[in-house]
């Protein structure tokens, strides 16, 4: 198999390694992946490289959920996985000093090709692009920090035309107080000894969002230690654009029956099991008359909330029906059972004819019996958290992400988690580790520990049904749906090239912050 790319000829020729391999193909240990590979590789190597990188990206996701980026545990575990993946390239690997130029070349080639293979696999839908963009950006950020600690970043910036000129000493002295108080707790001496770069605020949205930079007339003053944020934003923007371009070119591969099955298989693995395939569930099949009891024991809070709202109001809006209906499909309800379940509730506030005309079609559609007859899969945690945010009157979404923190604490307190457990969960919520907060809730209520972070509501359900005895005291108290206060949000349609990674503050708010600085 051969990858092709027209930009190869633009590289400057450099010395040739043994075996005729050009050093100029990979001048830096870190890459922006601008130039497609032109190697001949077998299908076996194609698949092997993709799977290896996919394992790393899934670890990046898991560690990002489980630990803080700055924590010692995060750095140690990330270092271990990177050392396993690129043993002769990763700067912190104790064996890298013994590596030869050929060893490093092989790792650079592996890094380069595996990235482009997964780019092909993960450009196929918005969800896939978003996930791939998140993990690759964090992987790049961590590797950049490591390279910077090893003082190997200057040539990388030069080769990628990333030039940032430090501000002069006079300007630094003029704004000394502002720079000192910009969020890093630096002394005057530390500010004067540090390099500061002046860039347009749009290049530092992450830092503006967290209020860690001094803003003046639309410019952000960035300390050297925060340069990684700027470079990562450049990487993210370029990769987002590249994914959109790749998605448009993907139809040219439709006739290649060698690649498409492999790419499809890779793209299905990013969130683990999709729960589209029915299987035997621990504890036996759930019947309709058991759903109320099972929901209190084995449903995650997001689905428990939807169930309680349905029982109380006998209706859910479209977003809630989709999220909850596909979850029920995933736990084993057949089409006939789902129709009976929803019909029983809805006809309490409407006649049967209205239900059949306005709602039954949507249920059959989810099971692939109407429309384009696609067999829709239950929503993953990532999809629930990052898309289709709830509006007024909605009760779908992620309980930990979309519920007002004060009310969330009240709701969690009803489950008698204990002060330590409650504080730990709320701390995780504050740090935006929503999946880990859900996992910790499961551990406390089921008297277990050491679980990997959940990435799917149906995974929560299956783990609960495996036989653990949950701590259910307090679960029958006031329903979670009472008094739930949603965050004020507005849905924004985004292009493939401008996918938002963190939507806590939108670009309009950032513009107002910068202009008022």
Is 438 annotated as belonging to a binding site?
Answer: yes
Place of tokens 């099971």: 367
- Which residues are CB-neighbours of 249 under 8 A, at least 6 positions away? none
Angle at 70 (CA atoms; ends 108, 32), nearest 5 degrees: 25
The rounded Cα 456 to chain-centroid distance in angstroms is: 13
Question: Number of C-alpha atoms within 13 angstroms, CB side, residue 439?
Answer: 18
- The answer to whether 398 is a known ligand-binding residue is yes
Residue 203 near residue 233 (C-beta atoms within 8 A)? yes
**How far is Cα 120 from Cα 249, in angstroms, rounded to an integer?**
10
Contact yes or no for 63/77 (Cβ under 8 A)? yes
Tokens at 334, concatenated: 């057949």
Measured CA to CA, the distance from residue 500 to residue 388 in angstroms comes to 13
Sequential DSSP letters for 55-101:
HHHHHHHHHHHHS-TTSHHHHHHHHHHHHHHSTTT-TT-TTGGG--H
Alpha-carbon distance of 499 to 132, in angstroms, equals: 11
Tokens of 264: 């499809």
Strand partners, 458: none
Contact 222, 197 (CB under 8 A): yes
Asked if 502 and 209 count as a contact pair (C-beta separation under 8 A), the reply is yes
Q: Is 123 annotated as a binding residue?
A: no
Q: Is 302 assigned to a binding site?
A: yes
For residues 285 and 423, what is the distance between their CA atoms, to the nearest angstrom? 36
Contact 441, 413 (CB under 8 A): no
Measured CA to CA, the distance from residue 484 to residue 312 in angstroms comes to 14
Q: Annotated binding site: which residue ranges?
A: 302, 381, 398, 438
Q: Annotated binding site for [4Fe-4S] cluster: which residue ranges?
A: 302, 381, 398, 438
């Amino acid at each position: 198999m051969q990858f092709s790319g027209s930009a190869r000829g633009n590289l400057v020729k450099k010395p040739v390694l043994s075996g005729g391999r050009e050093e100029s193909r990979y001048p830096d240990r870190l890459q922006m992946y601008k130039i497609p590979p032109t190697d001949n590789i077998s299908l076996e190597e194609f698949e092997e490289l993709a799977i290896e990188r996919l394992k790393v990206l899934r670890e990046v996701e898991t560690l990002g959920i489980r630990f803080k980026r700055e924590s010692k545990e995060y750095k140690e575990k990330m270092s271990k996985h990177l050392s396993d993946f690129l043993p002769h390239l990763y700067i912190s690997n104790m064996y890298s000093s013994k590596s030869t130029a050929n060893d490093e070349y092989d790792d650079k080639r592996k890094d380069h090709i595996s990235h482009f293979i997964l780019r092909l696999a993960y450009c196929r839908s918005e969800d896939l692009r978003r996930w791939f963009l998140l993990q690759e950006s964090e992987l790049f950020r961590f590797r950049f920090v490591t390279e910077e600690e090893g003082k190997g970043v200057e040539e990388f910036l030069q080769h990628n035309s990333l030039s940032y000129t430090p501000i002069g000493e006079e300007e630094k002295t003029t704004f000394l107080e502002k720079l000192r108080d910009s969020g890093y707790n630096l002394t005057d001496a530390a500010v004067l000894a540090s390099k500061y770069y002046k860039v347009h605020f749009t290049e530092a949205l992450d830092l503006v969002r967290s209020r860690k930079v001094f803003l003046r007339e639309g410019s952000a003053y960035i300390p050297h230690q925060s340069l990684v944020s700027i470079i990562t934003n450049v990487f993210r923007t370029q990769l987002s654009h590249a994914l959109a371009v790749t998605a448009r070119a993907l139809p040219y591969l439709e006739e290649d029956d060698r690649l498409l099955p492999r790419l499809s298989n890779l793209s299905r693995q990013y969130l683990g099991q999709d729960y589209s395939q029915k299987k035997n569930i621990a504890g036996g099949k759930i019947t309709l008359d058991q759903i109320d009891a099972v929901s209190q024991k084995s449903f995650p809070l997001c689905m428990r909330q939807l169930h309680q709202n349905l029982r109380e109001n006998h209706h859910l809006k479209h977003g809630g029906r989709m999220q909850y209906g596909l979850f029920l499909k995933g736990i084993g309800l057949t089409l006939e059972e789902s129709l009976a379940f929803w019909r029983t509730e809805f006809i309490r506030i409407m006649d049967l004819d209205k239900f059949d005309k306005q709602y039954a079609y949507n249920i059959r559609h989810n099971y692939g019996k109407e429309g384009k007859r696609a067999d829709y899969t239950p929503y993953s945690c990532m999809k629930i958290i990052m898309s289709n945010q709830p509006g007024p009157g909605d009760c779908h979404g992620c309980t930990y992400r979309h519920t007002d923190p004060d009310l969330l604490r009240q709701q969690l307190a009803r489950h008698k988690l204990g002060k330590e457990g409650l504080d730990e969960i709320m701390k995780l919520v504050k740090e935006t580790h929503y999946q880990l907060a859900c996992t910790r809730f499961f551990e406390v209520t089921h008297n277990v520990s050491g679980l990997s972070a959940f990435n799917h509501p149906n995974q929560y359900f299956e783990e609960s049904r495996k036989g653990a005895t949950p701590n259910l005291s307090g679960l029958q108290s006031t329903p979670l749906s009472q008094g739930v206060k949603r965050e004020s949000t507005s849905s924004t349609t985004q292009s493939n090239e401008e996918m938002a990674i963190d939507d806590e503050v939108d670009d309009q708010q950032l513009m107002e912050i910068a202009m008022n600085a």
